[in-house]
Amino acid sequence: MTLAFAGAIGVAHAQEATPSPAPEATPSFIDRAYDGNTHITVAPYVWLPTVKADYQYAIPRLRGYVTAPVQGSSSIGPSDYLSHLNSAAMFSFDARKGTVDLFGDYIYLNASSTGSTSATLTGPLGNFQLPVSVNTTAHLRSSIWELGGGVTIARSHDYDLSMFLGYRDFPLNLNFGYTANVTTPKGVLSQTGSINSGSVAQDWIWGLRGKAFFGDGHWYVPYYIDIGSSAGQLANTTWEGYTGLGYAFNHGQTIIATWRSLNYENFAPTSPVQKLNFAGPLLGYTFGL
């Protein structure tokens, strides 16, 4: 009985000396995204960019005069949207399983703007030069869509970084109408006309994207950058980038506010469109399916 009692006391002391297991750490928002399950999110958003376009066209020849293409520009800012933005729709989606993800973005824009520029008509053998003032009306109606797939190349509990390849499609449905007032020795002559551009900018893109949280908190910084070049007949280069601030709720939905810029450059010298830039603030809300 004495030996049994002593053994019982020894077991009790051994149990008291064994430390209890530490509680498991709460998974971070990044950990939840990489838990091996399929996560699909959709994010409708409002993007209010200033749209700038550089374009060129030739004024119909006046008798005895020739001209190089007239170059001009137009700009639509958020303050002009009530009168110039006819309609718009914007949303993105993301599907992730482990380190592989598929994402897309869609923008529909229907807008118009006005602008003015000047040029010079040159007479035969360069003997005469006539000043020209040009007033233009530009109409842009396009659906810009993007699709990409990537793989995570770095991550921790608080950040991730993915590298992706993708494709962006932008139909340049631009309609320019103009009135050219030509000052001649006999008075002012007016020439009117319009130019329609139905080309499509098709580009392969490559880039990096991800997000970084401030420690284990809810606030984070999203980041995205891509560059691309022509995949179709319309020569061009393109790049896009955004960053800002986001907040993740415990239920998995997020809200973001960023500055986004989408750019098209280096079109062919004969292209009516020479440069396009969309840049401005974006506000979006992400929810899971």
Would you list the domain boundaries of the chain?
26-288
At 127 the pLDDT is 46
Provide the mean pLDDT of the chain. Answer: 79
Predicted confidence (pLDDT) per residue in 181-192, tens digit:
656 566 555 666
Is the backbone of residue 36 left (phi > 0), alpha (psi -120 to 50) or beta?
A: left
Question: How many degrees, rounded to 5, is the angle at CA 201 between CA 54 and CA 95?
Answer: 120
Residue carrying the six token digits 């006999």: 186
At 19 the pLDDT is 53
Q: Is 0.85 surpassed by the pTM of this model? A: no
- Select 26-288's CATH number: 2.30.29, 3.40.50, 2.40.128, 2.20.25: 2.40.128
Percentage above 70 pLDDT, the chain = 63
In this structure, the strands spanning 174-184 and 200-213 are: unpaired
At 53 the pLDDT is 79
Question: How many degrees, rounded to 5, is the angle at CA 267 between CA 180 and CA 137?
Answer: 30
Amino acid residing at 221? V
Cβ atoms within 10 Å of 103's Cβ, excluding its own? 21
64 pLDDT above the threshold of 60: no
Greater model confidence, 242 or 133: 242
At 113 the pLDDT is 60
CB 237 within 8 A of CB 230: yes
CA distance 225 to 258: 13
Strand locations in 23-99 (E): 38-47, 50-57, 70-76, 85-97
